Amino acid sequence: MTIRSLLFPSRLAAPMIAWCALSTSVVLAAGNQFVVKDIQVEGLRRTEAGTVFSYLPIRVGDTFNDEKALQAIRALFATGFFDDVKISSKDDVLVVTVVERPAIASVEFNGTKEFDKDTLKEALKGIGIGESKIFDRALLDKAEQELKRQYLSRSRYGAQVQTRVDQLARNRVAITFNVDEGEAASIKQLKILGAKDFKEKELLEEFELGTGTWTSWYTKNDQYSRQKLSGDLEKLRSFYLNRGYADFNIENTQVQIDPNKQDIYITVTVKEGQKFKFGDVELSGELIGRENELKSLLLIKKGDPFNGEALNESTKAIQDRLGNYGYAFANANVIPELDRENRIVNVNIAVDTGKRVYVRRMNVGGNTRTKDEVVRREFRQFESSWYDSRKIQLSKERVDRLGYFSKVDIETVPVPGTSDQVDVNMQVEEKPTGNLLLGAGISSTDSLILSAAIQQQNLFGTGKTVGLELNTSKVNRTISFSLTDPYYTLDGVSRSIELYNRRTDPSALNLGDYRIETTGAGLRFGFPISEFERISFGGGYESTKLDVGPLSPARFQQYVRDFGSSADAYLINAGYSFDSRDSAIAPTRGRVTRLSAEYATPLGDQEFIRTTYQEQVYFPFGKKYTLALNGEVTAGFGLGSSKYPIFRNVYAGGIGTVRGYRSSTLGPRDTDNVPTGGSKRLIGNAEFFFPVPGMNKDRTFRAFTFLDAGNVYQSDEKINLGSLRYATGLGISWLSPVGPLKFSFGIPLNKEPQDEVQRVQFTIGTGF
């Protein structure tokens, strides 16, 4: 609850003051009547005379009497501008004498740490206590009491709030709230009485409140809140209902505060009752001729143990299915009948479809940077069409999969004054979509080294992705540019452009007698073939130069002898992808399939092909846990008389492949014991995500355990499952302000002597 909502005072004070003042403010003799020739107002400093006349129910020419006097005084007191009002007359001239209430010159807070001072000032200003406002003691007293209650909601039962009003010149006042917040009370004891079939410890694990853990400084779960306790009691009730205890009851809840106002004791008394089974399960009401279809959605059947969650999910599934046919406000109401003697629950689900409706408008909010059209082009529910809950949910998932937003919410709102129209409101929360890495260094050989890499996934809010990388190191120099437009055409055809120049020159620092320089360009188009599937086609050109010396690694010298020091490749590539994840940020369910092939045509110096197949699957376990599986197979082959180029080898080891091993060190090595990579790679990953204690509701910050397997193989080797390297460990996944971050601690399970271990690893921007 916000401060503002708690600070609205009663307006009954003004009429009460008016009635109390009447006996002293009318100075006319009883029964005196006259025709008003003129009206004079005295005592005004800030208030305009016209303001008084606008509220005064008397005009020149009116007959004035005692009743009119009472009406006038009531009206002027009701404005809240005056502390006193007197009405008199002289020679048929009505004289209104007022004493203005002071104006508020300043509002200050002393001792407030729990609440932001500016927030408090804005809240007070909204109810009439702020700079330049008219001072009203009744409003001030109300604000003081509500501020005290706000501290009580934060478990600060010893908080004291005192106000001081200082009179200033020119009929002004300065208001100061002096606050002693005291210490926040914490839950000293939380007990559940009456439980027999379950241990108290198991039941308390369902509670958000507790006696405090090492994360309580952040979660504040040891601070009592009536709302949190109500939520915990509902979780406790669901716990029993989901395990068959249909007659479960919370008989009593006691919250006691120690006299020291620092310790809170909570006692919950329950009656478990007996375990029940489902009896007859029936559907009734408006079934729109789809009784069999709706029955197939039921997750319960006769003889099953009673399960409240399964019953709720069944009714929700029925409502969602009816929503697919335009019944946005369909209800499936459960009418249970308990047979305590036989311990069964007969269930009748009464269906009320309501009126079929259509969508008037699809509204988008919260996109402060992203253009409306970028969000709207993902919608599958159209305006002026029949409401379809399936298409609305699909629209939400497609927007979430963009990766531009940390939060996407959607709600359906009835259109006022109609019974068959709704508006669908989507509220998004922007997240940083750019990654920027800058680096600089100085060495005796390289002088100044500059490096920069930038990627913006939502360039200027247009949905386009641009990437630029620059590295001036003498060993690894890179210049690359890429641009992707996901909606190059209105039909969703995408276009990607890439230009790059990469040079590896270890000889510059006497690290190896060879140099590799690759220059290339590529163009690719993607075509949607269904809601979840895309195919892509493209082409490119790549030129590679390899310079070797007498001390170069043997594999490079042999390659130059066989194929020469330069190679041109004219590439054709194709791909297929399927993506049904519920989110691109933190998926909990769905599947991703990627299949790609790259073919170097005979127009170049070498003919080869490389294919990659990747499969990712996400399985939810309840609302908190997710199992993610990933598998990848890459294979490259030389065609005709060509061998597969060694500079296109793939590598394994490190985060993204097999954690716990140093990056790109697994697999074959040359005579110099340097990892060579290979033309084939097999990778498998399993990750089990779970919430970090105290951060259950933050899906962008999760912990995980993992099991990795993988290795690489040369062209003349067969993939040998017995040579796979395995590793396990723990990690943290966090959607940081600079991009998705993964930190892992890996333990190799079958390390060989030549393998290099690296237990702690992290990366920004990878999925596995």
Using DSSP, how many helices (H) and how many strands (E) does the chain show? 14, 35
Domain boundary residue among 224, 256, 271?
A: 271
Q: Among residues 261, 3, 248, 258, which one has the least CA distance to residue 118? A: 3
Q: Are residues 450 and 555 in the same domain?
A: yes
Q: Are residues 564 and 652 in the same domain?
A: no
Q: Which residue has the tokens 């690359």?
A: 480
Answer yes or no: is pLDDT of 467 > 90: no
Q: Among residues 655, 581, 656, 576, which one has the least CA distance to residue 618? A: 581
Q: Are residues 456 and 545 in the same domain?
A: yes
- Which pLDDT score, from 0 to 100, does residue 3 have? 34
Q: List, for residues 377-432, the tens digit of each pLDDT value.
A: 999 999 989 999 999 999 998 898 888 888 899 999 999 988 899 999 999 988 77
Domain containing 411: what range? 358-430
Q: Report the CATH number at residue 198.
A: 3.10.20.310
Q: What is the 3-state secondary structure of 80-95?
A: CCEEEEEEEEECCEEE
Amino acid found at 117: K
Q: Are residues 621 and 768 in the same domain?
A: yes
Q: Are residues 504 and 630 in the same domain?
A: no
- Does the global pTM surpass 0.75? no
**Strand 421-430 relative to strand 358-365, pairing:** parallel
Structural domain contains residue 656: yes
Task: Give how many domains the chain has, as a whole number.
Answer: 7
Structural domain contains residue 330: yes
Look over the chain and give the mean of its residue pLDDT values, rounded to a whole number: 84
| Cα pseudo-dihedral 382, 386, 388, 394, rounded to 10 | -10
Q: Are residues 759 and 695 in the same domain?
A: yes
- Which pLDDT score, from 0 to 100, does residue 471 have? 67
Answer yes or no: is pLDDT of 554 > 70: yes
Q: Are residues 625 and 718 in the same domain?
A: yes
Q: Are residues 753 and 639 in the same domain?
A: yes
Q: Are 120 and 3 in contact (CB under 8 A)?
A: yes
Query: Which of 37-46, 67-76, 163-172, 243-252 has maximum average pLDDT?
Result: 243-252
Determine the Cα–Cα distance for residues 663 and 364; give it in Å rounded to an integer: 43
Structural domain contains residue 5: no
Domain boundary residue among 352, 384, 416?
A: 352
Determine the Cα–Cα distance for residues 729 and 747; give it in Å rounded to an integer: 6
Structural domain contains residue 133: yes
3-state secondary structure of 277: strand
417 — phi, psi (to 5°)?
Answer: 85, 0
Q: Are residues 194 and 251 in the same domain?
A: yes
Find the largest Cα–Cα distance for the chain.
Answer: 126
Note the residue count of the chain. 768
Q: List, for residues 311-355, the tens digit of each pLDDT value.
A: 999 999 999 999 999 998 899 999 999 999 999 999 999 999 999
- The strand order across the sheet containing 331-339 reads 277-285, 344-352, 331-339
Q: Report the CATH number at residue 764.
A: 2.40.160.50
Q: Are residues 211 and 293 in the same domain?
A: no
Amino acid found at 291: E
Q: How confident is the model at residue 441 (pLDDT cuts 50, 70, 90)?
A: very low
Q: Are residues 594 and 726 in the same domain?
A: yes
Determine the Cα–Cα distance for residues 378 and 401; give it in Å rounded to an integer: 10
